[in-house]
Chains A and B, each alone.
Chain A
Amino acid sequence: MAGRPGLRRRLFLGGLLACGIRPARAEGRRFRIALANLDETPGVTLEGLGFTGAEVRRSFELAARTLPVDMLYFDNAGDPARAIANAEAAIAAKIDLLIEYNTDREANAEIARRLAAASIPGLALVHPLPGAPLYGPDNRAAGGIAGRALGAFAVETWPGEQVIGVLIGDLADPGPAISERVKGITDGLHESLPSLKLALLDTGGQPVRADALVAKFLQTERGQHVLIATLDDLAAVYAKNAIEMNRRQSDCIIVSQGLDRNIHGSASEKKEIDPNNRGSVVLGSVAYYMDRYGYEVLPLALRLLAGEKLPPRAVTQHILVTAANVFREYPPFDMN
């Protein structure tokens, strides 16, 4: 194993770093990095949000433009066996590092074993890869941001008035991400509104159902203000439609999760969160920046390749994006 040139180089670089010397060679050379993406099937969205595999991949393509890396891309297509085969192909392609985005725990364990055998470091995206640093969202924190924003809005706008909370999304999703977000939202709401009651409306993974669910809820629950936390942006758009159709704009407010293009818009698209649309019932959305993963993860990969020891987990810096800051977070480029 010690005879492998790749490992010798990494040990050498690590040794230099341990002595406080920054390795000059790492500055001058290019690295081959592979991204094994979760699922690039058209129409498939990831992590209960509105982002697609194509957006994740594109973020790596864009970030790589200014970095000393040559990228190889693989699509795991949501298939554990394919993920293992892709990892094997990446190893055969003599990559310097693999960024693995795969949900299946057993497949990830096998991939980690094969990477270790080939002395190739890995970096896990969203879901753990044994022995590899992990980058991903902090679902609890993101939920908390939404919950606190809704609570603060109610305290500011409807002090002393009847308020009820509503949580809408794919609540039955068995993954830990959803339950973490729900917990964060609930805790955040209860920080300023400890006795707030929460109604749960399950879309069953079909955001369009938020329209009918919210409409029915608003027709039965009159006389109180409604704080709505949606688990994805498309559900927020449909919930907003139900609010407008029922003419309840004056006593409903929505905060969503994701900040995907369904809600911040992009070129030539309707921008729900927009400085010119500050009266919208969609107050904002908590940014997950999945369409910018490449900008966060590739610098981590380069640090790892330079021999630096990374913390076991790095997380997205989520913020609430509203009409007041959306153009700073996502500068629109529909100007010419």
Chain B
Amino acid sequence: MRIVGLAAFLGISVLSLFGPTAPARAEADCKALVAPSPFGPEDQTGATNRVTPAVTKAAAAEIQTGVVTPMAYPLADGVPLFGTRFSKTVLTSFATMPGAEFGKNKLSYMEDTYLSQSHVGTHIDGIGHIGVQDCYYNQTPMGKYITQNNLKRLGIENIKTFATRGVVIDAVKVFQAAGKLKANAACKRPCLDGGTMITEADLQAGLKMYNVTLKEGDAVFINTGWGDLFEQFPAQNAAYNGGEPGITDSAAKWLASQKVVVVGSDSWAVEVIPGEDKDIAFPVHKTLITDNGIHIIENVRTQLIADAAAASKRATFFLSMTVPKAVGLTGTFVNIEAIQ
């Protein structure tokens, strides 16, 4: 009785909480809340529409030495996660015991099962990940397109390809050069401190450092040094999750105006946390994903490619990353490599 009374007092109902067809969701005006897609009203792909054959062919020219630089962290027990999030594997089938082998050739095998949330480790945010109320990319009223298991629109199976040019922007070097680096004592290497805002001017300074001009279809990765805390897992997990340096909303808007396809960083949200406006939650996610269909990749291992760029004076590379056709997912962990 008390719980019923409490619900009534708060003015809520079970329907308003969980029902996808509840009035509050159905009434949201998606045309007012979300920008239309530049790729047409039926588009579910988003920015990877920009990765045309011409873009891929041009990106292939970035492969000059054949050196491959890893850009993903190993997905292992103990990496930073929030709250009750988890990523576990279970070895579910094996036939190594004597007598369990197959055939006279005694073939044995092993298989495993992932018990994992999709947004863990180095992972991509799909365009079905972020919305405003029930309005998602391309003014999609997602309340109509969700089931208990997955999305019926905007799932990651709609992504085309990331066979494009990658660009690394070393924000650490930008801030060092400008004499405004405020480091975090827990970082073993130079890093920007949590809450440090990376503006479009900083991004432009980072591009200028290596004489790079962004092109339509580029994949942009920002090295903040914050990934140093990820690499110290689990010792610095709380510090890693407690905030982060990242881009501002205006920087995200500038990147969107450059028609990039993805923005990644060595942090868990790419954007500055705490944000510029204490009352606004994740504005960069909304700008990039919801309004522009631009993917975000989090927990990217950017330090190695930033070091490679510093050594070779070349901050561009061919991006090697594929996304499984997992139908209806909002994101997935990925492997990324930079090929130069």
Contacts and interface: CB of A to CB of B under 8 A. Distances in A.
A250 interface: yes
A73 to B, nearest CB: 13
B2 A251 contact: yes
B171 interface: no
Contacts of A251: 2
B2 A249 contact: yes
Nearest to A265: B83
Interface residues of A, number: 31
Nearest to A149: B9
A153, A158, A292, A336 — most chain B CB neighbours (10 Å): A336
B274 A333 contact: yes
Interface of B: 1-3, 5-12, 17, 82-83, 119, 195, 197, 238, 241-242, 268-269, 273-274, 276, 278-282, 298-299
B9 A157 contact: yes
A324 interface: yes
A152 B9 contact: yes
A323 interface: yes
A197 interface: no
A335 B10 CA distance: 25
Interface in A280-336: 283, 292, 295, 322-324, 328, 331, 333-336
Contacts of B279: 328, 331
A268 B269 contact: no
A268 B238 contact: yes
Interface stretch (A32-40, A59-67, A123-131): A59-67
A336 B119 contact: yes
Contact of B3 (A152, A153, A279, A335): A279
Contacts of B281: 331, 333
5 closest A-B pairs by beta carbon, nearest first, are A157-B5, A331-B281, A334-B82, A336-B268, A279-B3
A140 to B, nearest CB: 24
A2 to B, nearest CB: 37
Given A268-B83, A268-B238, A66 B276 contact: yes
Interface string A39-67: 00000000000000000000001100110
B19 to A, nearest CB: 15
Contacts of B17: 275
B10 A157 contact: no
B9 A334 contact: no
Contact of B6 (A157, A334, A336): A157
A39 B83 CA distance: 31
A278 interface: yes
Contact of A323 (B10, B269, B274): B10
A27 interface: no
B298 A336 contact: yes
A146 to B, nearest CB: 14
B6 A335 contact: no
B7 to A, nearest CB: 6
Interface string A152-182: 1100111000000000000000000000000
Given A65-B276, A157-B6, A250-B2, A334 B83 contact: yes
Contacts of A279: 3, 6
Given A65-B276, A268-B241, A292-B278, A156 B9 contact: yes
Given A152-B9, A157-B9, 12 more contacts: A61-B195, A62-B274, A62-B278, A66-B197, A157-B5, A157-B6, A267-B241, A267-B242, A268-B238, A278-B3, A324-B11, A335-B269
A326 to B, nearest CB: 11
Contacts of A250: 1-2
A260 to B, nearest CB: 15
A19 to B, nearest CB: 33
Contact of B12 (A153, A267, A278): A278
B236 to A, nearest CB: 13
Interface in A92-139: none
A152 B11 CA distance: 13
A273 to B, nearest CB: 11
Contacts of A275: 17
Contacts of B2: 157, 249-251, 253
A268 to B, nearest CB: 5
Nearest to B274: A62
A62 B195 contact: yes
A334 B10 contact: no
B6 A278 contact: yes
Nearest to B121: A336
20 contacts: A65-B195, A152-B9, A153-B6, A156-B5, A156-B8, A251-B2, A253-B2, A267-B83, A267-B241, A275-B17, A278-B12, A292-B278, A331-B279, A333-B273, A333-B274, A334-B82, A335-B269, A335-B282, A336-B119, A336-B268
Contacts of B299: 336
A322 B242 CA distance: 24
A278 B274 CA distance: 26
